[in-house]
Amino acid sequence: MHETIFLQFYSRRKSGVYNLLNGFSDTYDLCRRHGEPRWYPEAPDKRNERQYDHYAANPPPIRKGTVFISALDVNHLYQSWVWADLHPDITFVVGGPVAAEINTDGPRRQPAYVRVDDPAALPQNFVLTGKSVETWFGVPDFSGPWRLELPGGIAPDSPIYFSYTLDNICFWNRCIYCNMGCHDRQNNRRRTDMAFEFQHLPFEGVKQVRLNTGSLTPHHIRNLLPLLPRGETFQYRTFMRPAAAETRALRDAIAAAQGPLPEMVLGFGVEFPSMRMLAHIQKGFTPEEMMTALELCSAHHIRVNGNVIVGWNNLTPGDIDALASFFDRMPHGAFRTLQLRWLFAHPFTAIHDRYRGTPRTFGPFYEGFSVALDNAEQIALNRTAVEIILRHGPMKGYTVQGLAKVKEHLD
């Protein structure tokens, strides 16, 4: 029997939160008209080793027909390719951020997140859409009502985490390790009617809503945050640049909200908080601007998670002093967690051209590389930065995450 299904992955985290990777919520009715939406439990691959046999052991969702897949990360893309390789009677049409975003800067159109060097080697039954579902079926983006049907068996005391897409762009687009700037603008999508349909979700437990966008614009902050549905069961997660314009907008949003903003966790790209390094990375804000944003969030009990990148090959002792001074001056409790990441060079980014490292390929896809440092002085400076961040954790009330992976590069 030929079937058509729309497949979304989901997983249960150690914390008990159900992570619903709901790529078809904006087009639920459209998908329903063409086939059956279906959830698929994600096969854990914690170290992202992408062993073919590991993915091949997952049974395909149907025996024959067409599977539309929402690929939110490269493991989903890899799973789709492995299935296509093994099951020629099934056509896999793969969309979602890692498959639908297309880079037009190079000699030909191809995925922006992973490079495909030999498109001819892709199986015939494996289609990288390069389109949103709406565009694929010829209807305007965001033209249907948002809807989420939950996988069975989720108890109300298990929080659920899902996405509500604001847009698929970043208005800033300049950070040198990020490839958002090379995405085909014809694929840009923006939700204009903010109906917050998830407020009617028939689920009584905690709903963690990820407001999807590269980075909130001042307009989003000023006009959207005060309108978010509130209540004990709603929590929000999103990214904001801690730049002066965004902080001004956040101050206005706090004033307009007439009471506390809904519970939210803002993600800040701290990267490396020295004036020189932030300018080098082209973040468009200074350490002082970030400090002002942190003070505002701290004063209004808005939780912040920070992302710090180490692995740079151009640090100076002055950068280390500036980082130490930043952490000394930071208000206690300003960050809830600090996520350490080692610099990764994605294809089509400035970092990819400037650094070297061991290429990561999986099947026909090239993902980039973790940068390799061979200069003893730079390794020592990066190590000192990590030590300063670790030392300030207990004093400033934040938890450090990602240390084990970073240490692999420094030890």
Binding of residue 241 to ligand SF4 (CB under 6 A): yes
Whose CA is closest to 313, among 281, 358, 268, 284? 281
Binding of residue 144 to ligand SF4 (CB under 6 A): no
Per CB under 6 A, the list member of 60, 269, 287, 357 interacting with ligand SF4 is 269
Binding of residue 175 to ligand SF4 (CB under 6 A): yes
Q: Are 276 and 323 in contact (CB under 8 A)?
A: no
Q: Which stretch binds ligand SF4 (CB under 6 A): 168-176, 184-192, 299-307, 389-397?
A: 168-176
Q: Which stretch binds ligand SF4 (CB under 6 A): 81-89, 170-178, 256-264, 299-307?
A: 170-178
Q: How far is the CB of 409 from ligand SF4 (least distance, A)?
A: 21
Residue 103, token pair as written in the block: 């880079």
User: Which helix (H) or strand (E) covers residue 76, if one does?
Assistant: helix 74-86
Task: Name 215's bridge partners.
Answer: 170
Task: Name 161's bridge partners.
Answer: 19, 208
Binding of residue 173 to ligand SF4 (CB under 6 A): yes
Per CB under 6 A, the list member of 7, 180, 224, 343 interacting with ligand SF4 is 180
Q: How far is the CB of 366 from ligand SF4 (least distance, A)?
A: 20
Q: How far is the CB of 395 from ligand SF4 (least distance, A)?
A: 28
d(CA 143, CA 139): 7
Count of positions (residues) in the chain: 411
Q: Which is closer to ligand SF4, CB of 105 or CB of 408?
A: 105
Binding of residue 214 to ligand SF4 (CB under 6 A): yes
Residues in CB range of 116: below 8 A, 6 or more apart: 110, 122, 128, 364, 365, 366
Residues in CB range of 162: below 8 A, 6 or more apart: 20, 22, 25, 148, 198, 207, 208, 209, 210
Q: How far is the CB of 300 from ligand SF4 (least distance, A)?
A: 22
Q: Which residues bind ligand SF4 (CB under 6 A)?
A: 170, 172-175, 178, 180, 214-215, 241, 269
